[in-house]
Each structure stands twice: as C-alpha cells, then as structure tokens.
Structure 1
Amino acid sequence: MSTTRRQVLLIGGLGVLGAGAAMWPTGSIEAKSVSRLSSDQMPRPFRVPFVQAPILPPYATGTDPADGLPVNYYRVTEKAAVANILPRLGTPVLGYNGLFPGPTISLDRGTKSVVRVRNQLPARHALDGHALSTSTHLHGSASLPQYDGYASDITHPGFYKDYRYANAQPARTLWYHDHGVHFTSLNAYSGLAAQYHVHDPIERRLLPQGRYDVALTISDAMFAADGSLGYDDNDHSGLWGDVILVNGKPWPVMKVQKRVYRLRILNASISRALRPVLSTGDPLVIVATDGGLMPAAQSVSNYRHAGAERYEVLVDFRKYSTGQRIELRNLSNENNVDYDFTHKIMAFDVTDEPVDTSDPTWNRIPTVLAGSETMSLQTGQSIKTRYFRTKRNDATNMWTINDDSWRDVIASGYKRAVANPALNSVEIWQIENSSGGWFHPLHIHLVDFQIIGRNGRGPFAWERGPKDTVYIGERETVRLLMKFTPHKGVYMMHCHNLPHEDHDMMVQFRVGLRESDVDPNDPMTAARPVWDDVAG
C-alpha cells in the first residue's frame, strides 16, 4: 500500500519527516525516531521530575434556586502559550489557561458546575491555518446536548460559552478536551485537554485521596528542530510521536512513599494505544474504568489502553527498597508505530519519607468495590440490537461508521441519525472493526455501557466496569449493553483516533425524539456562545 507526504503539516521548519512516520500501521512498526531535534535537544527518559496539573479552584460558589443544590463556577481561558517540554527550547502550545495539560477540576457528586470556556486563541492555527474555533466536551459526563461539546456547536475566538454540568453520576475520572468539528485532532494534540474528577463518599472511603490520588495524562508528540510540535497524520491514519509525555513532561520521575498509590491514567494521545506494565512484573490493580468504580478489583500484569480511555490503578510500593526505581513501561499493541523510547512511560523512585499509617488507604487493596446501574443491566432488558461496522475508503482516505459520516450529518441540516433509541430504553450495540489494519477506540456520548462480549467471548478483565469508550482491535467485534438515560436529544458516536474522527468517522443518534420534533436542547441553538468583552 503506497503513501504520500501531503499530510505532513509544517511547523517551525519540520520539513519532510523520517520514514518511520510515513508507515501505515498494518502491524506493529518500529523505527528509531521521527523528531527533527538535535541530539542535545532530544529528551531522554527519566531526566525530569514529575509534576501534577494544578487543581482549578472555583472563582465563585452558590446555590441553584431550582433545586437547592450547590454550584461551583469556574473559568478557563483557551490561549496560546509556550511550554517547557524540551531541555532548552520552548514549545508553542494551545492550553486551557495556557497550561499543557490544562488545570484539573475536582468536585463532589451533586455539586453542579458552570464552566465558562473563553476562546482567546489566535484566529488561525499555526500548523495548517484552520480557524481556531472550539467546542468543549466533558468526556464521561451525561451532559445535556447543548453542553456536550457537539462538534459543530463551535465558539469562535473572542467569544465564550458557559457549560453547565449536573455532576450527578457516581465518582469517576472525566476529562475535558476540544471537540471542534474536523479539527479535534490538531487542537487536542496542541494541548486542549485536561482532567476533571467527581468524588463521592464510597470512592473516598475505598481509595487514596489527596497527594496519593495522582492524575496521569499521557500523550505522545513529535518535534521540529526549533522545538515546535510537528504533526503528521499519515493520510488521516494516525499520529505516533517518538516522545512520551506525562502531564506535559517527557518520561518524568515521581518520588513515592512506601504505601499504596492511586493512579488516574488518561491516555490523551490522539492515536497511540498503550499497554502499561511495571518493570518489576508486579500487578496493576484496576479499580475503576471510564464510568467509575468496578464491581470488583481486577489484578492484571498489563492491559490495553486506547486514546480517551481512563483506568484507575492501584500500585503498592510498600515492599520496595528505599532508592529503588520502578518503571512504568509500555508493551505497545498491534497497529502502533514505535520508536526508541516509546516503550517507557515514567518512573517511580521509592523514598524513606515517613508514611501516615493512620490513613486507612495506605495499605489497602480493596477487592469488592461498588455496583452501578450500568453493571447491573441484564441482556434480557434489551429491546433491540443494532449493528455497526467501522470502515475505511482507500480511494478517499475517509473513515465511516456503516457508510455514514459527519459530512452526512452536516448535509442533512444536523438531522441524520444512525439510531433512535427511546429515553430510558436498553439496547445492545454490536460493533465490528472491518476497516483492516487499524484499531478504533469508539466513544459513545451520553451513556455508560457494559462490554458483554468480544469476539464471542467475555470482556477482558480490565474492562469489567462501566465504560464510555471501547477498544476495538483489528478483526474484533464487541457487544455493548447500555441504557439511554437521562436526557433526550442528539448525541455523537465516533472513533477517538482523532484523525479518524476528523475524516470523518463520526455519526449521531437521537434519544427519545422523532426527527420532526422540536428539540428544546438543540445543541446548535439552545445555548449559543456570547461575545467576550473582557480582555485577556
């Protein structure tokens, strides 16, 4: 299969990339590097300290007069900035509040939030000149359609939009990221991504909190000679960088006490899938998936982790020696492109800092966790089974779901839908990956689902919790069981290999409404952006 170079976008003199970046991922491919950095500027593993993204405090709090529930008010500004990623060169990024990744929002279940997202970005993106209009999606939230980051509901530079979230779901790790139509991959890759945590009493009792509750946002990148980000999506196939970043730092080192830590691992790579493993061979204990706590913890040696998926993992550092280094490594997966150091993620150095043993989570590895409505669903409750196939057109380099795409949605005046489940109905969706040579992390908005089958067998151990994104490998077919609640309206389903989403592997479904119904929560009209007259 031949490739072209027309998808290489130049930034800061990146030029034509090395052969490794041009390969099609028809299997696991290895190359030395792809960045154009000089050897003294190319970062190496375990040279920089780990940093945690800051927690964003609300600028105001209040009470919703409609129901008496508390409300937190937040403000994030999308703007251009320069990140310190490389040894001596600055890297231009786009960030929430200018940070890469953005600040973490953390609150309790039942505390509503109003997040004002201000678009103070330049008019055009530096890579390809596309207009920097954005749409913010809180991934994992059962949001009303007009606050769900509907791709075509964009906010232009100079405007803001207030996103309102109920935060009524059980505790979970969510993340907010750009979802702007046809340019999600470039905007998210440039830095518009951050974590968002919802807590509840069950999760607080069972799992580590505070400094022992650690958010890891993992991504990959490639760089031009001047330190700028490079971008090559291989004719919309995907982008695989040669530098692994954790919270915006290359292969960092974190100092840990001899106790149990909770790692909230988000794969924010726009294409790369991970397979995390500890260098010691000790188990990773999975306690939560996209939609929160699993019914029971799952101890695994490694696991597949696609873009947009979140897994909460317990690691027990009690038995290690002071000064011992434990690496979190990456075994990779089929259909990736790997380089010299992409098999490493980060490292942990064990210290002799005294441990507070009055904290009951310091040595606790819970086995029984928490049930949920999603994981209590039974196949007998399903009233319909729907069938979907992921496809690729070799002639156009376009990706589709059942031959449908977002271009079809736009052409229909945002009416075309691939499914119309009733509100509160339960269905089974079967999705087959027949595109050949690629995996697809498929994300279904609004719902949490239960994976009930994979190629005729049960789900992998690490998937036995509520999910909103499913890894569908090459030649795989998955069966998902879900309840369409709590809102009516239109919602998206798409591949989270973001170049696939942008070209054009995204469709929509309509919950509880007919196409002819007036939709009070129409995502294009119900909550429009507002001109921002505050400078900076």
Structure 2
Amino acid sequence: MSVTRRQALLFSGLGMVGAGIVTVPISGVSAKSASTLSDSDMPRPYRTPLTIPPPLAFQTTVDANGIKTRHYTVTERLANARILPRLATPILGYNGIFPGPTIRIDQGTRAVVHMRNQLPAKHPTLGHALPTSTHLHGSASLPQFDGYANDLTLPGFYKDYQYPNFQSARSLWYHDHAVHFTAQNVYSGLAAQYLISDPIEKGLLPQGNFDIPLTVSDAMFAANGSLAFDDRDQSGLWGDVILVNGMPWPVMKVQRRVYRFRILNASVSRSYRFTLSNGEPVIMVATDGGLMPAAQTVGSWRHGNAERYEVLIDFRKYAAGTRIELRNLSNDNNRDFDNTGKIMAFDVVADAVDTKDPSWNRIPTTLASSHAMDLTAAAATKTREFRVKRHDDTWSIDDLTWEDVIASGFKKVMAEPALNAVEIWEFRNTAGGWFHPIHLHLVDFQILSRNGKPPFAYEKGPKDVAYVGEEESVRLLVQFGPHRGRYMVHCHNPTHEDHAMMLQFRVGLRADQADPNDPITAAPAVFDPVQG
C-alpha cells in the first residue's frame, strides 16, 4: 500500500468525522481548540472523577511441573464511550472499554491471552480495514507473540498470545500494532496496562488501592462527539482534550498517605513535561523496565510516547481540602491548546488513613538493581549508529523504511546481533523539527548518555523507549536476548511509525537459517467459530 493511498484514506476519513478542524502552525504555539464541539459539549477540567480500569478476569491451570498459567479472553469490539458531557463517542475497545481491562500478574506465572478480533471490517469513521496485531510492550515475548506489524488477525479471527512473564516487576501495556494503522487504532481505544509484580516490588511500594495506573492521552472531537483524526500530513496528532484513564481532566480523592502512580503516555504524538502545581517534587521509583537502582527526586520530567514512569506522591503533609494538580509544562514541537497544561487533580480528604499497607508512610531510597542497569559499556563488542530522518514526507531510520522490509520479504534487517551480545546503539536526531521516542522490542536497555552528558535523573533505570529529542544523540547499552529471531525497532509516535519509521533486527540467526519462530507464520490467527 503506497503512502499516497494511505493519505487518501486518512483524508477521506477526516471528512467523515467532521470538517473545520482547527489546525495549529508547525512549532511550539498555542491555540484555543482543535475540536469542533459546541461550547456546551466541550468538557471542562476537574468535573469528573477518576475511574480505574477493571481487572481482567482469568482462569488458572497448573501443569505437571507445577507451572501456573492464567488464561484470559479479550474481545476487540466497537463500542460507545461516555467521555463528553452529552455525546457518545464511538471507540474501538478491548472488551469495549478504553483503556482496556488491566492485567495484573505475578512474575513466573505464564499467561495466554485469547485475543478475539470482533471489530467491523472497516473503521466506522476513518474507513480503513481493521485487522489487528497485539503487542505486549515491554515483554520479552517470542517473535510470533510479539505483535509483529504484519502478523495480522482479521475481523472474525482470534490469536492466542503466550507471555512468559519471567521478567522482574514492571509496568507494561498492550496495544494494537497493525501495519500502517497503529496510530488510528490506538487513538481509537486499543490500549491497556499489563502489570507484573514480584516479591521485591511488593515489599517496597504501595499495593492494591494505593497502586494506581494512569493512562494519559489526548484527543480532538468532531461536532457529533466522534474522535476526529488530523495527523498534519503524518507529522503528528495533538488533541485539545487531555484524558486520564479515558476521562477528561479527572479528579481523584486521596488519603493523607503515600500513593504510587504508574503513568503511561498513550498519546499518539504529544509528549508531556509533568509537574505538580505546588512545586513539590515526586519520587521516581521505576522506569519502563521496572525498579530503578535508587529512587530519584524530580520536580518535573519529560515523558515521551509509550514511556512508563512510576512515581510516589506523599500526601501526608497536606490538610484535608487541599487540591494539588498534575500539570503539563509541555516540550518543544508539541501543539498546545487552552487546557493542555492541565492533566488531573488530587483532592486530599479527611478519611481515616489505611495503614494496613506498611508503605503508607514510607519513601524508599534504595530499590533494586536489574540486569540492564548492571551492564557496563566495557562489555560491548560493537557500536552502531543510526540516524532518524524525514525525506519527501516519509519517515526513516538510516534512509530505510518498513516498506523496504516488506519489499525484501521481511528479510532486510538493520542489525544482526549475536544471541546475548552486548552492544551500544546510538540514535542521532539531526533532522530537526520533531522528537522521536525510539522503542526496541524484546530488550531492556540502559541509557548511557545524551549528547555526551549523563542521562536525566529520572531515566536512570531500565528502559525500552528512549526519548530522542531535537538535535539529540542518545547512546543505549543493550544485551540482545533471551530469544532468537526478528524484532522491530521504531519511533513510537505511531504517525511516524506508520509512514514508515520502523525497521527490524535479527538476534542469533543468519538470513539463510530456518526460523522456527517466524513472527508471521509460526502462530497464525485462527477463524473464530463464535462470532460476536
């Protein structure tokens, strides 16, 4: 499918959701709105309570070796969400909700997710076909269960995804990864958190009602309440309504104790610079790949697409009735609107404090080491350099795109590291005008440096996404394993990824070797005999 064809689909779809969307000039400016809602239909900050996505139900089996497996079923389907005061918004949802249900699971318990595509043949407003591919972002999954972009499940089919969950505690998320239309599908609602726990994390950080997943995204709306989609010639989509767990600028009531927040940026293109309204710092305790070696006190942090940061906020010192806002200072090359500097509010209440969880009044300083953070640059056997670019409205890495990978019969790779090899990968962004959150599938990595300087304090933990800002050069230290096979690397601004800033690397295999874990053919989707 050519870029021209994709553009035609997007432009025709945009016409369906409503003409007259206000577009904002290219760099660093503000405007009143992007939506075409009437004033009475436009949501206002801090009018709705925070909602927490429900946990996903499961059944457990135990094999002859005593290994536990949880079996989940998720159905991708069209539904209506109540985001706006009066109007319904059609979404694509895991089990019909956005965000989808949360999966919480212990390290060492395997999971099989029976993912049913019961979506319509075409997107109801944008008009593109709706095969899907589910990526568990941050999981060391086998290639055939990793959500490879061209490993597609058609409407009326299902795929059973197998997840090993041997990694240490971390905040993952599952989202659609279908080739060419990841941006539209995730924006339409196919995103949810997946949280792995382990004994170390449970002993250090708040649990249960005080361990709060926050999925942050932004949206623009057509006059009829549907999601509008304007990716500005495939450069990015910036909405004027900030959603947290699918609700606009919500309010959360909090006790006078320590809370843990798992913050995921699920926006298509918007990056954030989060801070608290009273100027107090937060305590950063975990990054994409789990616990940091040591907690970091930060006043604000730059949060790119698909990054996960876990923070502790201590509400003990605030009087009942105090309101504290989580705000957004923004970053270069966002497009900001009247209320995109607001995220959500916390209202401190006079309720009796639940002290059964010993972490209620504890701020840990020493956390946990990890394999990625224990690596040293001296162990690297190779250094590779990659440049992120844009040419003729096509995004690329080193002048290569996913179209080149497809044309090669999925053989072309950007690198062939040996199994368990340690390498340094440097990503250079000299094109100007955009930032790129670069995601490596399969692996955690350590950020060694930015422009020759140490990483930011909040990045000093295991990562799988690196914010490669304007004119930045970022060096990553990576060990490639534990699986052989082909895995993707891409910008996690999915408008860039779809057009077509995505390549792949091959671990521990030559191009001419048979691949028992071929990501497209090893575990294909199956016709679903139960429809609806």
Q: Which amino acid aligns with 1:309?
A: E
Q: Does 1:415 align with 2:411?
A: yes
Q: Is the CA contact (8 Å cut-off) linking 1:242 and 1:340 kept in structure 2?
A: yes
Q: Which runs of 5+ in 1 are unaligned?
A: none
Q: Is the CA contact (8 Å cut-off) linking 2:17 and 2:125 kept in structure 1?
A: no
Q: Does 1:504 align with 2:500?
A: yes
- Quick one: which of 89, 102, 105 aligns to 1:104? 102
CA distance in 2, matches of 1:247, 1:275: 18
Q: Percent identity?
A: 63
Which residue is 1:258 aligned to?
A: 256
Q: Does 1:317 align with 2:315?
A: yes
SS in 1 for 2:184: helix
CA distance in 2, matches of 1:169, 1:105: 15
CA distance in 2, matches of 1:505, 1:64: 42
Q: Which amino acid aligns with 2:193?
A: Q
- Quick one: which of 159, 162, 167 aligns to 2:160? 162
Q: Is the CA contact (8 Å cut-off) linking 2:419 and 2:484 kept in structure 1?
A: yes
Q: Does 1:372 align with 2:376?
A: no
- Structure 1 residues 432 and 135, CA, compared in 2 at 3 Å: closer, same or farther? same
Which residue is 2:35 aligned to?
A: 35
Alpha-carbon deviations, 1:490-534, whole Å to 9, x = none?
A: 000000001000000000000000000000000111001000011
CA distance in 1, matches of 2:428, 2:238: 24
Q: Is the CA contact (8 Å cut-off) linking 2:17 and 2:227 kept in structure 1?
A: no
CA distance in 2, matches of 1:428, 1:271: 27
Aligned pairs (5 A) from 1:353-432: 353-393=351-391, 395=392, 397-432=393-428
Q: Which amino acid aligns with 2:184?
A: L
- Structure 1 residues 19 and 135, CA, compared in 2 at 3 Å: closer, same or farther? closer
SS in 2 for 1:500: helix
Alpha-carbon distance, 1:357 to partner: 2.5
CA distance in 2, matches of 1:462, 1:301: 10
Q: Does 1:63 align with 2:62?
A: yes
CA distance in 2, matches of 1:336, 1:360: 40
Q: Is the CA contact (8 Å cut-off) linking 1:104 and 1:194 kept in structure 2?
A: yes
CA distance in 1, matches of 2:412, 2:17: 42
- Structure 1 residues 11 and 368, CA, compared in 2 at 3 Å: closer, same or farther? farther
Alpha-carbon distance, 1:110 to partner: 0.2
Which residue is 1:85 aligned to?
A: 83
Which residue is 1:14 aligned to?
A: 18
CA distance in 1, matches of 2:289, 2:240: 30
- Structure 1 residues 162 and 11, CA, compared in 2 at 3 Å: closer, same or farther? farther
Alpha-carbon distance, 1:13 to partner: 4.4
- Quick one: which of 268, 271, 281 aligns to 1:270? 268
SS in 2 for 1:508: strand
Q: Does 1:124 align with 2:128?
A: no
Alpha-carbon distance, 1:64 to partner: 3.7
Q: Does 1:495 align with 2:491?
A: yes
Alpha-carbon distance, 1:14 to partner: 1.4
Alpha-carbon deviations, 1:440-492, whole Å to 9, x = none?
A: 00000000000001001010000000000000100000000010010000000
- Quick one: which of 473, 479, 483 aligns to 2:479? 483
Alpha-carbon distance, 1:274 to partner: 0.5
Q: Which runs of 5+ in 2 are unaligned?
A: 1-6
CA distance in 1, matches of 2:23, 2:54: 38
Q: Is the CA contact (8 Å cut-off) linking 1:326 and 1:347 kept in structure 2?
A: yes
Q: Which amino acid aligns with 1:44?
A: R
CA distance in 2, matches of 1:312, 1:343: 20
Alpha-carbon deviations, 1:380-424, whole Å to 9, x = none?
A: 10000001000001x2x1000001111001000000000000001
Q: Which amino acid aligns with 2:367?
A: L
Aligned pairs (5 A) from 1:287-326: 287-326=285-324
Which residue is 2:169 aligned to?
A: 171
Alpha-carbon distance, 1:284 to partner: 1.1
RMSD: 1.1
SS in 1 for 2:272: coil
Which residue is 1:199 aligned to?
A: 197
Which residue is 2:3 aligned to?
A: none
- Quick one: which of 127, 143, 146 aligns to 1:145? 143
Q: Is the CA contact (8 Å cut-off) linking 2:16 and 2:126 kept in structure 1?
A: no
- Quick one: which of 517, 524, 530 aligns to 1:528? 524
SS in 2 for 1:51: coil
Q: Which amino acid aligns with 2:484?
A: K
Alpha-carbon distance, 1:435 to partner: 2.2
SS in 1 for 2:359: coil
Q: Is the CA contact (8 Å cut-off) linking 1:11 and 1:224 kept in structure 2?
A: no
Alpha-carbon distance, 1:297 to partner: 0.4
User: Which TM-score applies when normalising by structure 1?
Assistant: 0.97
SS in 1 for 2:378: helix
